[in-house]
Amino acid sequence: MFITFEGIDFSGKSTQIRLLETRLRTNGERVRLVREPGGTEISEKIRAILLDRAHDAMDDVTEFLLFSASRSQLVQEEILPALASGVHVIADRFHDSSTAYQGFGRGLDIEAIKAVHRIATHGLVPDLTFFIDIPVDASFERRSKPDRTIDRMEAANRAFFERIRDGYLRLAEEHAFRFIRIDGMLAVDVIADMIWTAVSNRLSSTDATNATP
């Protein structure tokens, strides 16, 4: 199963990914964690370029194509081989992030973005996508903590993140068959239980399908 986590910055995705990984492993499942951008030697080099605050002059199209290039390498080198060997893959962001951030956030043409997605993902679509939804005010409050290091993407203004959140809400409606929107302001353990219920239900239905003669 290919599971992705989405949301605006500081929504709590990383915490929930770690908790889900632990539960899956405890349940006897094999799991591979990946992140975007990054996850391979080439993709990590692209990540360094994308997130470096010294690159404030980066063109929006350049940004999108770099994310897509990183994604393509990750899919080919890590995700597809893992899935083919029966390993569950959990991704901290996937192509929905580019639709939300560069499409709705930066204002790039959505249909053009979708066309590139079809190439960069090699046709791969998540089985489940958890959208951890928090208000933009909450994101800004969390990023203002003194121990936070802010990268180039996170340093954008409030209006940018409002557009991104609106984009995610639209994506959740458009892809309701795989998107599960979760209130990210709930307690961590409550969110984790909601995620585990959805994943375990999907695992049970998959096992039942595979057992059918």
* CATH code: domain of residue 64: 3.40.50.300
Quote the domain boundaries for residue 93: 2-208
**Cα distances (Å, whole numbers) of residue 147 to 10, 16, 143, 144, 181:** 13, 20, 9, 8, 28
Poorest-confidence range of 22-26, 84-88, 150-154, 171-175?
150-154
Q: What is the Rg, in whole angstroms, of the alpha carbon atoms belonging to the chain? A: 17
The per-residue pLDDT for 207 is 62
Task: Determine, yes or no, domain membership for 213.
Answer: no
Instruction: Tell me the pLDDT band of 212, cut-offs 50, 70 and 90.
Output: very low
* pLDDT score, position 146: 82
Which pLDDT band, with edges at 50, 70 and 90, does 209 fall under? low
pLDDT beyond 70 at 58:
yes
Please report the pLDDT score of residue 103 as a whole number: 98
Confirm if 100 and 171 have CB atoms less than 8 A apart: yes
Q: What is the mean pLDDT of the chain?
A: 95
Q: Are 165 and 133 in contact (CB under 8 A)?
A: yes
Q: What is the pLDDT of residue 11?
A: 97
Q: Which whole number is the average pLDDT over 169-180?
A: 97
Is residue 135 included in any domain, yes or no?
yes
- The tokens describing 168, both together, are 């995610």
pLDDT exceeds 60 at position 191: yes
Question: Is the residue at 161 inside a domain?
Answer: yes
Please tell me the predicted confidence (pLDDT) of residue 147. 79
Contact 3, 128 (CB under 8 A): yes
**Residues 83-99, mean pLDDT to the nearest whole number:** 98
Look at residue 71 and tell me if it is in a domain: yes
CB 191 within 8 A of CB 132: yes
Domain-embedded: residue 203: yes
Question: Does the pLDDT value for residue 81 go beyond 50?
Answer: yes
What is the number of structural domains in the chain? 1
Q: Exposed, middle or buried, 90 (CB in 10 Å: 0-12/13-18/19+)?
A: buried
Q: Is residue 196 part of a domain?
A: yes
Reported as a single tens digit per residue, the pLDDT across 126-151 is 999 999 999 999 999 998 888 778 99
* Mean pLDDT computed over 8-31: 97
The secondary structure of the chain in percent helix, strand, coil, rounded to multiples of 5, reads: 60, 10, 30
Q: Mean of the pLDDT values across residues 26-52? A: 97
Residue 52, domain member (yes or no): yes
pLDDT recorded at residue 148: 79
pTM, to two decimals: 0.94
Rounded CA-CA distance 112/32 in Å is 30
Beta bridge partners of 32: 89
